[in-house]
């Protein structure tokens, strides 16, 4: 067999050029018995890390490199021979990328020959790629290059069945002789096998924005650009054996391995010449004393010692110090932060104040975080307030410099739906059919369901159409291909040597941001440490609530000093009263709360983890609840699992438990279990999971477990692949659940105002937050030019009914809505109004004169009815605003106030009735404090004997009920097989509807299109949770038109009647009712 190494390899990281994944290329090269394989994507190293991993797995040498495409010269393949040369290549690419737009790279011949960075190719092996037409310019260019670069430069030749390959090769060979450059053979591989030609053609079309029928010569004439066996290459180049031999020579020279990048972590300055480890030890014990003022428990002491020892062994101390420093910075700026994820398994992190999970309360699994066995760096994720995370990021840039700190990339890949759109376009499907299919096909489902002929026929297409079939086929092939780099939400890499010598850096879409080319998985694989600076809206909300409480109640709260174990807080949660609370506010969580009845912190940990795809798909929820309620005995499938499952009553709920079962019950080694975890978490669905499945289930059955239990355990593991929830992570979240619940319970006004000021976040819209606050006895006051700030504020009020958990003192605060609630209002305009307010505005023109408010701004304010303190209702205010002169026409009059210019005849406008007010409130504020639309329409519904939401509680189970309400949320949970959940709201509360698939087929339009939905169905109740199982549904949206019409709402006969045609349809209906939150 002829020894050969393929040097010109384009992977799919040359976006829309390469048609194979790195792992496919590596595997194929190994199968063909190549000596080595290079990766030479165009002006990028983005795929290098993946290729490295794949080559290591298939045991073949990787030659790291890139293809340098120049703006003014020929292309080179560039292969660094050592770490320093690699650094220079990376810097060269960074230079080109920083010059260009995002995703592009601008390099010139001078950068290579003259530029200091590249040092004229020192340490690199360069391969010059001749252009398509060999002319004298190329010959001259070679001489120019030859003058600068003496060694290690080659000239490449291809044999790609062009017809003129032989004459061309001999021409190049003559050129090579003349310039004394050695020849090297390559096959310009764009794919690992010939079978990728079709995909390759389609990629070309996507790149060139044309259909396959228009593509013409933009496509290659044949599919010869793939990896070929050494013998075949030797046959093609039989006249030039040295061209083949040179590939091997180059492979021997380029021994640089990406593992050499393994990390020199930046060492923060440590006082008095102590080692980072000493410093870490000191800080840990100092922290421990603060955490445990009454003495550190023995168990914890042991844990700290153990962890410090391991950290020392692995040399991670500087990394911990870095994170500690970042957290310390945030604290000094009063930015709330909290570690999450596996870091919460470390007591050292707890002592350093990075995480808040007390090791005395929760059993930690430090090995999940750091282990000697798993050769990869620890991963510390820290959440910061979402509005202030930028400050932390800027601090990191400032401290380490942009040349040493950078954001990691996210490699955005084609998903089957996006792939379908693009390939459909290429294959000439009409925009219309593409749209129809992409909105009706179940993309998340397996292939079989996706091509469900019924669905395809439903949108009027022929499922057997070969073109359509091909589009589906190709979409599946292309799914998973990277399409561009984007920036990770907050993954930071910090290096001691300049970062651009480790990996190329490019401009991000956001101004002033740069992104490295590798993503999280790449960094993990290469053992490069990173820290995740994440944003969490709830932290912002909590901080704002703390500020309100300090300002109005003089109580200084922190995450650490909130009273623990508060009975009333748990009482509230047990009732499912959790609107706005972190994590447990979703409908499913709200239903779970009264069933789980949390009474301790650990209950909250379980609450957070249990409503997840893992436990639900594994069917673990009901057994757990039964055991908790004492309806079922706590038992263990086998005694050996007692230790694993004791805390959760014998039912596995957390990711770690599933792993432990794999080890204890299925006989996996810890590293195998970790492989399983990886298969389900990272490198999305690359198909390795089924391999583990058999082994897992057989292993368990062999060990004497029932097939049923084994099956369920594995199902659960599969569920975790959608969203894994380890115990430590759940515990970190549970802390915030408790804090936010406590705030909501005792300071509902401050909490609601803080929530409103932190929008957008969470599950609910401002209208529901306000409503919930009012339900808890909080007075909410309207936006007003004389009272509001941009943010919502608290005002003191004399008396307000003190509800169950509100203290008297707290109940003296009321919420004043801020200008931020007004649709389309700008913050600077609002600030100007606040700044110029002095003792208040007496008339509309004042605002224009003193605050310089534009007409548009004033109109928005008028529409939001924000002039009430002047005694103007919205119509009068709007009339006044409309009457303002746009700009003074003559300078003579500039000093005269607007309204003094000349008296205007008084105009009597029609009075606004309440319905109109409410409708306009909804239009401007997406809510109304005056009334609920349903309240005004109630006579209509009463006449039809419809119930109110609050009535449901008194209705016996299984009776048939009718009710109506505004649609708040439509959901189609993945775990619930086509069932739609709809939440509707009326003036008394909310009701939950369940629409089964067969009803959905019948009422699809009504369910999806209604703003005001009526339902007739059977009542179901589980604990205190009530559902209406929809039997018939009615679109009553037209009745909203009554709000603005002069007619009184007429009771019509509900069932089966058409919309009355005489009713003026409300033009703004769509805009009036805020879009429901659908299918998120």
Partner 1 sequence: MVTIITVHGGQRIASLNRAARQAGISAGQSLADARALYPALAVQQADPIADAKALNALARAAERYTPWVAIDPDGGLYRGGAGLWLDISGCAHLFGGEDALLDDLLTRCAHAGYQARAGLAGTPGAAWALARLETKETLAAILPPGIRASKRLSPLPLAGLRLEAGIVEGLERMGLRRIGEIYNLPRAPLVKRFGMEITRRLDQALGTQEESLSPRRPVPAYMTRRAFAEPIGRAEDIDAALVHLLDPLCDMLEKAGQGVRRLVFSLYRVDDTVARIVIGVSRPNRDPAHLHRLFREKLTEVDPGFGIEVAVLTAPLTNPLALKQPDISGQQSAKTKPVNELVDVLAGRLGPAAVNRLLPVASHLPERACRTAPVDSAPDKKQDWQKPVRQPPRPLQLLIQPLPIDVMAPVPDGPPVLFRWRRRQHKVSKAEGPERISPEWWHGDGRAPYTPPLSPDIRDYYRVEDDDGARFWVYREGLYRPDRLPAWYLHGFFA
Among 878, 994, 1028, 1043, binds partner 1 (CB under 8 A): 878
- Side-chain-side CA neighbours of 303 within 13 Å: the count stands at 23
Q: Would you say 268 and 318 are in contact if contact means Cβ atoms under 8 Å apart?
A: yes
Among 1008, 1025, 1029, 1063, binds partner 1 (CB under 8 A): 1008
Q: Would you say 113 and 148 are in contact if contact means Cβ atoms under 8 Å apart?
A: yes
- Cβ proximity to partner 1: between 219 and 976 the closer is 219
Q: Would you say 83 and 258 are in contact if contact means Cβ atoms under 8 Å apart?
A: no
Task: Count CB neighbours of 496 within 10 A.
Answer: 14
Distance CA 696, CA 1025 (A): 37
- Side-chain-side CA neighbours of 785 within 13 Å: the count stands at 36
Can you give the length of the chain in residues?
A: 1080
* 883 sits near partner 1 (criterion: CB under 8 A): yes
* 82 sits near partner 1 (criterion: CB under 8 A): no
Q: What separation in angstroms does the CA of 333 have from each of 15, 325, 337, 411?
A: 42, 13, 11, 33
* 956 sits near partner 1 (criterion: CB under 8 A): no
The residue written with tokens 């006051």 in the block is: 781
- Cβ proximity to partner 1: between 258 and 966 the closer is 966
User: What x-and-dash track marks residues 423-452 binding partner 1 by CB under 8 A?
Assistant: ----x---xx--xx--xx------------
DSSP secondary structure string for all residues of 373-418: SS-S---EEEEEETTTHHHHHHHHHHHH-TTTEEEEEEEEE--HHH
* 1080 sits near partner 1 (criterion: CB under 8 A): no
**What is the nearest approach in angstroms of partner 1 to the Cβ of residue 221?**
4
* 459 sits near partner 1 (criterion: CB under 8 A): yes
**What is the nearest approach in angstroms of partner 1 to the Cβ of residue 602?**
44
**What is the nearest approach in angstroms of partner 1 to the Cβ of residue 909?**
5
- Cβ proximity to partner 1: between 223 and 359 the closer is 223
* 285 sits near partner 1 (criterion: CB under 8 A): no
Q: Choose among 1042, 1029, 893: nearest CA to 963.
A: 1029
* 907 sits near partner 1 (criterion: CB under 8 A): yes
- Contact region for partner 1 (CB under 8 A) — 53-61, 159-167, 175-183, 302-310? 159-167
* 875 sits near partner 1 (criterion: CB under 8 A): yes
Q: Would you say 415 and 479 are in contact if contact means Cβ atoms under 8 Å apart?
A: yes
* 117 sits near partner 1 (criterion: CB under 8 A): no
Q: Maximum distance among all alpha carbons in the chain?
A: 102
- Contact region for partner 1 (CB under 8 A) — 85-93, 338-346, 760-768, 1005-1013? 1005-1013
Site for partner 1 in 808-867 (CB under 8 A): 863
User: What x-and-dash track marks residues 1057-1076 binding partner 1 by CB under 8 A?
Assistant: ----x--x--x---------
Q: Which two structure tokens, joined as six digits, stand for 110?
A: 């001078």
* 967 sits near partner 1 (criterion: CB under 8 A): no
Among 110, 114, 161, 824, binds partner 1 (CB under 8 A): 161
Q: Which two structure tokens, joined as six digits, stand for 905?
A: 């005849």
- Cβ proximity to partner 1: between 293 and 466 the closer is 466
Distance CA 684, CA 703 (A): 30
- Cβ proximity to partner 1: between 201 and 279 the closer is 201
Site for partner 1 in 1011-1050 (CB under 8 A): 1035
Question: Per the omega criterion (within 30 degrees of 0), is the bond before 947 cis?
Answer: no
**What is the nearest approach in angstroms of partner 1 to the Cβ of residue 862?**
9
- Cβ proximity to partner 1: between 408 and 964 the closer is 964
- Report the run of H or E that residue 233 belongs to, with start and end: helix 230-236
- Side-chain-side CA neighbours of 103 within 13 Å: the count stands at 14
Site for partner 1 in 466-495 (CB under 8 A): 466-467
**What is the nearest approach in angstroms of partner 1 to the Cβ of residue 910?**
4
Among 1, 31, 144, 221, binds partner 1 (CB under 8 A): 221
Q: Would you say 777 and 806 are in contact if contact means Cβ atoms under 8 Å apart?
A: yes
| Binding residues for partner 1, total number by CB under 8 A | 59
How do 1077-1078 and 960-971 pair as beta strands? parallel
Which parts of 61-150 are beta strand (E)? 61-68, 75-80, 124-129
- Contact region for partner 1 (CB under 8 A) — 220-228, 409-417, 528-536, 891-899? 220-228
Name residues whose C-beta falls within 8 Å of residue 690's C-beta, 6 or more positions apart in sequence: none
- Cβ proximity to partner 1: between 84 and 459 the closer is 459
Secondary structure of 1039-1070 in HEC code, one letter for each residue: HHHHHHCCCCCCCCCCCCCCCCCCCCCCCCHH
* 460 sits near partner 1 (criterion: CB under 8 A): yes
The residue written with tokens 């009321």 in the block is: 814
Site for partner 1 in 132-151 (CB under 8 A): 132-133
Q: Would you say 1013 and 982 are in contact if contact means Cβ atoms under 8 Å apart?
A: yes
- Cβ proximity to partner 1: between 211 and 803 the closer is 211
* 352 sits near partner 1 (criterion: CB under 8 A): no
- Cβ proximity to partner 1: between 133 and 561 the closer is 133
- Cβ proximity to partner 1: between 367 and 916 the closer is 916
SS3 of 743, please? helix
* 214 sits near partner 1 (criterion: CB under 8 A): yes
- Contact region for partner 1 (CB under 8 A) — 42-50, 462-470, 566-574, 1013-1021? 462-470
What one-character DSSP code corresponds to residue 502? T
**What is the nearest approach in angstroms of partner 1 to the Cβ of residue 168?**
8
Q: Would you say 1052 and 939 are in contact if contact means Cβ atoms under 8 Å apart?
A: no
* 197 sits near partner 1 (criterion: CB under 8 A): yes
Name residues whose C-beta falls within 8 Å of residue 121's C-beta, 6 or more positions apart in sequence: 78, 112, 148, 149, 152, 153
- Contact region for partner 1 (CB under 8 A) — 196-204, 521-529, 724-732, 820-828? 196-204
In terms of C-beta density within 10 A (0-12 exposed, 13-18 middle, 19 or more buried), how is residue 633 classed? exposed
Site for partner 1 in 925-954 (CB under 8 A): none
Among 269, 563, 905, 1056, binds partner 1 (CB under 8 A): 905
SS3 of 491, please? strand
**What is the nearest approach in angstroms of partner 1 to the Cβ of residue 208?**
12
Angular region, 798: left φ>0, alpha ψ -120 to 50, beta rest = alpha
Distance CA 674, CA 656 (A): 10
The terminus-to-terminus CA distance of the chain in angstroms comes to: 57
**What is the nearest approach in angstroms of partner 1 to the Cβ of residue 981?**
17
* 398 sits near partner 1 (criterion: CB under 8 A): no
Among 119, 175, 198, 270, binds partner 1 (CB under 8 A): 198
Among 143, 167, 315, 390, binds partner 1 (CB under 8 A): 167
* 422 sits near partner 1 (criterion: CB under 8 A): no
* 224 sits near partner 1 (criterion: CB under 8 A): yes
Name residues whose C-beta falls within 8 Å of residue 710's C-beta, 6 or more positions apart in sequence: 666, 696, 697, 700, 701
Name residues whose C-beta falls within 8 Å of residue 725's C-beta, 6 or more positions apart in sequence: 608, 609, 612, 614, 654, 655
**What is the nearest approach in angstroms of partner 1 to the Cβ of residue 886?**
10
- Cβ proximity to partner 1: between 326 and 858 the closer is 858
Among 916, 935, 944, 1031, binds partner 1 (CB under 8 A): 916
Name residues whose C-beta falls within 8 Å of residue 445's C-beta, 6 or more positions apart in sequence: none
Residues that bind partner 1 (CB under 8 A): 132-133, 161-164, 166-167, 197-198, 201, 212-219, 221-224, 427, 431-432, 435-436, 439-440, 458-460, 465-467, 863, 875, 878-879, 882-883, 904-905, 907, 909-912, 916, 920, 1004-1005, 1008-1009, 1035, 1061, 1064, 1067
């Amino acid at each position: 067999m002829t020894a050969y190494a393929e040097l010109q390899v384009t992977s799919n990281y040359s976006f829309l050029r390469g048609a194979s994944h790195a792992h496919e290329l590596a595997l194929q090269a190994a199968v063909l018995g190549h000596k080595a394989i290079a990766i030479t994507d165009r002006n990028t190293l983005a795929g290098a890390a993946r290729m490295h991993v794949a080559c290591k797995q298939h045991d073949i040498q990787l030659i790291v490199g890139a293809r340098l495409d120049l703006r003014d010269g020929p292309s080179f393949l560039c292969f660094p021979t050592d770490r320093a040369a690699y650094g220079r290549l990376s810097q060269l690419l960074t230079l080109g990328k920083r010059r260009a737009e995002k995703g592009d790279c601008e390099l010139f011949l001078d950068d290579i020959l003259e530029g200091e960075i590249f040092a004229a190719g020192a340490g690199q092996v360069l391969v010059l790629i001749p252009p398509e037409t060999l002319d004298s310019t190329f010959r001259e260019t070679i001489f120019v290059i030859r003058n600068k670069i003496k060694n290690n430069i080659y000239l490449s030749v291809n044999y790609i069945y062009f017809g003129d390959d032989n004459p061309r090769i001999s021409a190049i060979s003559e050129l090579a002789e003349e310039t004394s450059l050695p020849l090297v053979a390559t096959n310009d591989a764009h794919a690992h096998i010939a079978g990728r030609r079709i995909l390759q053609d389609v990629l070309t079309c996507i790149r060139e924005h044309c259909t396959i029928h228009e593509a013409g010569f933009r496509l290659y004439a044949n599919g010869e650009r793939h990896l070929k066996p050494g013998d075949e290459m030797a046959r093609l180049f039989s006249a030039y054996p040295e061209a083949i031999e040179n590939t091997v020579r180059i492979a021997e020279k380029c021994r640089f391995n990406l593992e050499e990048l393994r990390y020199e972590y930046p060492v923060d300055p440590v006082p008095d010449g102590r080692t980072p480890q000493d410093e870490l030890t000191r800080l840990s014990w100092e922290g421990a004393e603060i955490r445990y003022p009454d003495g550190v428990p023995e168990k914890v002491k042991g844990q700290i010692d153990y962890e410090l020892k391991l950290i020392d062994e692995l040399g991670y101390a500087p990394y911990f110090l870095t994170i500690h420093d970042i957290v310390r910075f945030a604290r000094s700026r009063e930015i709330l932060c909290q570690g999450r994820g596996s870091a919460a398994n470390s007591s050292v992190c707890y002592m350093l104040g990075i995480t808040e999970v007390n090791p005395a309360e929760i059993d930690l699994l430090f090995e999940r975080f750091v282990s000697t066995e798993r050769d990869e760096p620890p991963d510390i994720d820290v959440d910061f307030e979402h509005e202030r995370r930028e400050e932390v990021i800027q601090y990191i840039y400032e401290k380490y410099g942009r040349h040493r700190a950078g954001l990691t990339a996210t490699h955005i890949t084609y998903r089957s739906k996006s792939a379908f759109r693009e390939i459909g376009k290429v294959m000439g499907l009409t925009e219309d059919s593409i749209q129809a299919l992409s909105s009706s096909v179940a993309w998340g489902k397996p292939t079989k369901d996706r091509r469900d002929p019924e669905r395809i026929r439903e949108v009027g297409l022929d499922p057997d159409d070969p073109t359509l079939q091909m589009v589906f086929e190709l979409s599946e092939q292309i799914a998973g291909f990277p399409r561009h780099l984007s920036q990770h939400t907050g993954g930071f890499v910090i290096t001691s040597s300049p970062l651009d010598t480790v990996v190329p850096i490019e401009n991000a879409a956001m101004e002033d941001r740069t992104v490295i080319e590798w993503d999280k998985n790449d960094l993990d694989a290469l053992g490069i440490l990173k820290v995740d600076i994440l944003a969490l809206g709830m932290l912002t909300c909590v901080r704002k609530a703390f500020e309100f409480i300090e300002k109005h109640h003089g109580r200084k709260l922190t995450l650490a000093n909130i009273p623990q174990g508060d009975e009333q807080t748990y009482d509230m949660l047990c009732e499912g009263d959790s609107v706005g609370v972190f994590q447990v506010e979703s409908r499913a969580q709200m239903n779970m709360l009264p069933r789980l009845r949390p009474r301790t912190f650990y209950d909250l940990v379980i609450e957070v983890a249990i409503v997840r795809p893992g436990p639900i798909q594994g069917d673990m929820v009901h057994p757990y609840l039964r055991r908790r309620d004492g309806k079922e005995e706590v038992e263990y499938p086998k005694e050996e699992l007692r230790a694993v499952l004791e805390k959760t009553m014998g039912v596995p709920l957390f990711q770690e438990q599933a792993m432990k079962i794999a080890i204890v019950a299925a006989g996996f080694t810890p590293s195998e279990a970790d492989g399983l975890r990886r298969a389900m978490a990272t490198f999305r669905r690359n198909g390795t999971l089924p391999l583990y499945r058999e082994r897992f289930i057989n292993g368990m059955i062999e060990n004497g477990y029932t097939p049923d239990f084994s099956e369920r355990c594995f199902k659960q593991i599969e569920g975790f692949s959608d969203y894994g929830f380890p115990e430590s992570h759940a515990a970190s979240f549970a802390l915030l659940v408790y804090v936010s619940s406590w705030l909501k319970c005792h300071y509902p006004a401050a909490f609601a105002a803080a929530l409103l000021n932190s929008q957008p976040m969470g599950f609910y819209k401002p209208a529901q937050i306000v409503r919930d606050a009012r339900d808890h006895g909080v007075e909410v006051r309207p936006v007003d030019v004389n009272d509001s700030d941009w943010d919502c504020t608290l005002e003191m009020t004399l008396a307000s009914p003190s509800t169950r958990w509100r203290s008297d003192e707290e109940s003296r605060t009321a919420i004043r809505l801020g200008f931020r609630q007004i649709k389309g209002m700008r913050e600077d305009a609002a600030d100007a109004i606040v700044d110029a307010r002095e003792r208040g505005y007496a008339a509309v023109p004042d605002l224009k004169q003193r605050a310089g408010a534009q007409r548009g701004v004033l109109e928005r304010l008028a529409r939001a009815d924000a002039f009430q303190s002047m005694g103007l209702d919205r119509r009068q205010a709007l009339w006044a605003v409309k009457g303002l002169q746009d700009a003074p026409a003559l300078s003579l009059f500039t000093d005269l106030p607007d309204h003094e210019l000349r008296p205007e005849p008084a105009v009597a406008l029609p009075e606004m009735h309440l319905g109109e007010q409410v409708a306009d409130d909804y239009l401007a504020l997406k809510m109304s404090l005056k009334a609920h639309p349903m309240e005004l329409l109630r006579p209509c519904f009463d006449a039809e004997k419809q119930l109110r939401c609050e009535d449901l509680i008194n209705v016996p189970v299984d009776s048939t009920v009718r009710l109506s309400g505004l649609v708040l949320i439509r959901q189609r949970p993945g775990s619930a097989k086509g069932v739609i959940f709809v939440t509707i709201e009326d003036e008394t509360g909310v009701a939950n509807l369940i629409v089964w698939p067969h009803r959905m087929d019948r009422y699809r339009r009504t369910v999806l299109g209604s703003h005001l939905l009526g339902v007739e169905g059977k009542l179901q109740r589980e604990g205190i949770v009530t559902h209406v199982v929809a039997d018939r549904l009615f679109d009553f949206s037209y009745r909203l038109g009554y709000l603005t019409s002069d007619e009184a709402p007429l009771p019509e006969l509900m069932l089966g009647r058409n919309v009355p045609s005489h009713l003026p349809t409300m033009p703004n209906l769509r805009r009036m009712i805020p879009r429901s939150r659908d299918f998120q």
